Amino acid sequence: MVPLVVVKSPKSPLLLVEDVSVRRNKTDVIKDVNLKIYQGEFVGIVGPNGGGKSTLIQTILGVLKHHSGRILLSEHEPLSQGVFGKVAWVSQAAANLPKNVRLTVRELVSLGVLNHKNWWKRYLPFSSKVEEAIKMVGLSHLAHRDVNQLSGGERQRAVIARALASEADLLLLDEPLVGMDRASRSSLLKLLDSFCHEQNKTIVMISHDIGAMLQTAHRLVYLEETIWFDGPPANFPSLEELALMRGIEDVHGACEQCDDDVPSVLEVE
Ligand SMILES: Nc1ncnc2c1ncn2[C@@H]1O[C@H](COP(=O)(O)OP(=O)(O)O)[C@@H](O)[C@H]1O
Ligand SMILES: [Mg+2]
């Protein structure tokens, strides 16, 4: 008799990006991108301006179409029913609400619990989720305040609370630190890290603040058209090494071609 061998399947990634290329204006802006992200990870995506970071996020969301490869979120395609409510997107622009929008923090965060099943109900039976999310981002004392009266950092927290109230497993954050002062930036990063450790949320965060990402993310990805580095922050290459990888030669003894948008690791605050 043949012994029964149970082969345990390896943990499947929450997000799978396989050989993905995206064309904008007839040019490939990202090419052959491969990425596997597992639940509970905090992945920082860094790279120069125009390197394709936002394009990648928008493609994961399904807003942009890839012309080759595949993307799966918990084994479902972007925008499919299985993904509904499982992914939240927070951008810097999301916190720049128009001045004529009059919403309190609580009302803004409540929008996060609206979904296709409950939008028609007159009262949402989820107020505890809203209060919990507001508490998590430290805004309970400002819950009744008009979002336009908040500081940039507080508004960014309110937008993040809306994403948390949605109970999405995956948070995609596109430059959420822009415009925040140093204290707000560092408390937001601590908060995001605690979501991963305590609530098993998965965070993919774009930032050109390599210093902040080196100190916070569990894993760093350097994207410039394609992925040049993917690994632990401790192994992140120097800018000179990155330039060499990308075939840029050191002509003046210093890395002059490095994009201004990517601060030197030595400039880390
Ligand atoms: N709406 C758009 N239409 C066409 N091309 C775009 C558009 N937005 C960005 N691009 C181009 O796509 C490339 C990648 O941009 P983007 O994903 O915004 O980079 P990043 O977020 O890393 O700064 C750039 O060359 C940019 O000019
Ligand atoms: Mg961008």
8 A C-beta contact, residue 137 and residue 158: yes
Q: Is 140 helix (H, G, I), strand (E, B) or coil?
A: helix
Whether pLDDT at 96 is above 90? no
Whether pLDDT at 117 is above 70? no
Q: Is the CB of 27 under 6 A from ligand 1?
A: no
The answer to whether residue 129 sits within a structural domain is yes
CATH number at residue 31: 3.40.50.300
- Of all residues in the chain, the percent with pLDDT exceeding 90 is 44
The pLDDT, as a whole number, for residue 27 is 94
- Give yes or no: residues 61 and 1 share one domain: yes
Whether pLDDT at 261 is above 60? no
- Give yes or no: residues 113 and 243 share one domain: no
Comparing C-alpha atoms, which of 135, 144, 156, 133 is closest to residue 105?
144
Ligand 2 centroid–CA 179 distance in Å is 14
Q: Which of 22, 25, 27, 29 to mutate to test the pocket of ligand 1 (most atoms within 8 A of CB)?
A: 29
Q: What sign has the CA pseudo-torsion 107, 108, 112, 118?
A: positive
Pairwise CA distance, residues 107 & 129, whole Å: 12
Residues with CB in 5 Å of ion ligand 2? 53-54
Q: Which residues contact 145 (CB under 8 A, 6 or more apart)?
A: 104, 105
Which of 130, 152, 168 finishes a domain? Answer: 168
The answer to whether residue 33 sits within a structural domain is yes
Please give the tally of structural domains in the chain.
2
The pLDDT, as a whole number, for residue 256 is 47
The pLDDT, as a whole number, for residue 2 is 52
The pLDDT, as a whole number, for residue 95 is 64
Inter-helix orientation angle 127-136/152-165, to 10°: 140
- Give yes or no: residues 155 and 192 share one domain: no
8 A C-beta contact, residue 162 and residue 133: yes
- Inter-CA distances, 225 with 64, 91, 219, Å: 16, 21, 19
DSSP letters, 168-190, are -SEEEEESTTTT--HHHHHHHHH
- Give yes or no: residues 36 and 128 share one domain: no
Q: Which atom of ligand 1 is nearest to the CA of 47?
A: 22
Residue 42: phi and psi, rounded to 5, are: -120, 100
Protein residue with least CA distance to atom 6, ligand 1:
24
Q: What is the pTM of this model?
A: 0.83
The answer to whether residue 232 sits within a structural domain is yes
Mean pLDDT for the chain overall: 83
Which H/E stretch holds residue 87?
strand 87-91
- Give yes or no: residues 174 and 79 share one domain: yes
Whether pLDDT at 9 is above 80? no
Whether pLDDT at 251 is above 80? no
Q: What is the pLDDT of residues 173-191, one digit of tens each?
A: 999 887 777 887 888 888 8
8 A C-beta contact, residue 210 and residue 263: yes
The pLDDT, as a whole number, for residue 71 is 97
Which of 144, 168, 192 finishes a domain? Answer: 168
Whether pLDDT at 220 is above 70? yes
Ligand 2 centroid–CA 111 distance in Å is 25
- Give yes or no: residues 159 and 185 share one domain: no
Instruction: Provide the CB-side half-sphere exposure for 5 (13 A, CA).
Output: 3
Q: What is the pLDDT of residues 50-66, one digit of tens each?
A: 999 999 999 999 999 99
- Give yes or no: residues 240 and 176 share one domain: yes
Q: Is the CB of 121 under 6 A from ligand 1?
A: no
- Give yes or no: residues 173 and 243 share one domain: yes
Weakest-pLDDT range from 25-34, 67-76, 152-161, 232-241: 152-161
Pairwise CA distance, residues 52 & 27, whole Å: 12
Q: What is the mean pLDDT of residues 84-91?
A: 86
Pairwise CA distance, residues 43 & 110, whole Å: 27
- Give yes or no: residues 239 and 147 share one domain: no
Q: Is the CB of 166 under 6 A from ligand 1?
A: no
Ligand 1 centroid–CA 130 distance in Å is 34
The answer to whether residue 265 sits within a structural domain is no
The answer to whether residue 35 sits within a structural domain is yes
8 A C-beta contact, residue 163 and residue 112: yes
Whether pLDDT at 1 is above 90? no
The pLDDT, as a whole number, for residue 10 is 59
Pairwise CA distance, residues 180 & 66, whole Å: 32
The answer to whether residue 264 sits within a structural domain is no
- Give yes or no: residues 7 and 74 share one domain: yes
The pLDDT, as a whole number, for residue 4 is 54
- Give yes or no: residues 102 and 126 share one domain: yes
Which of 152, 168, 184 finishes a domain? Answer: 168
8 A C-beta contact, residue 134 and residue 140: yes
Instruction: Provide the CB-side half-sphere exposure for 10 (13 A, CA).
Output: 4
Full residue range of the structural domain in which residue 245 is found: 1-86+169-252
Q: Which residues contact 149 (CB under 8 A, 6 or more apart)?
A: none
Q: In what order do the strands lie in the sheet with 15-24?
A: 27-37, 15-24, 68-73
The answer to whether residue 257 sits within a structural domain is no
The answer to whether residue 185 sits within a structural domain is yes
- Give yes or no: residues 105 and 33 share one domain: no
